[in-house]
Amino acid sequence: MLATNVAGSKAGTVELCALNGNHMVWHREVPKTQRGINPIAVNSGEIYLAGEDGALYAFSRVDGQLKWKFQVSQGPLGAPIVGTDGTVYVTGAGQ
């Protein structure tokens, strides 16, 4: 789940959260995402996040730790998808 903090010292920041029922398993502050798209794709081991900064991020599903980051473009990305072979596809603005 993605959540934007709306009040307090973290207002405007975005958090990626893993829930098990009504129990928070972990949460991490992540880069902002573009509005109007589904910025997350999931496979068996990773969660992929399309950042507004043009980077594609991979987080561990187990603990939310950043596994890798790949700079795709200089602008916001489209919605990522995971193919049947595990390849992650995402679109980005031209350079």
Structure token digits, residue 84: 């049947």
Strand pairing partners for 92?
Answer: 77
| Per-residue model confidence as pLDDT tens digits over 15-69 | 999 999 999 999 999 988 888 889 999 999 999 999 999 999 999 999 999 999 9
Q: Which residues contact 87 (CB under 8 A, 6 or more apart)?
A: none
> For the chain, which residues make up each domain, given as ranges?
2-83
Architecture of domain 2-83 in this structure: Beta Barrel (2.40)
- Residue 9: is its pLDDT beyond 70? yes
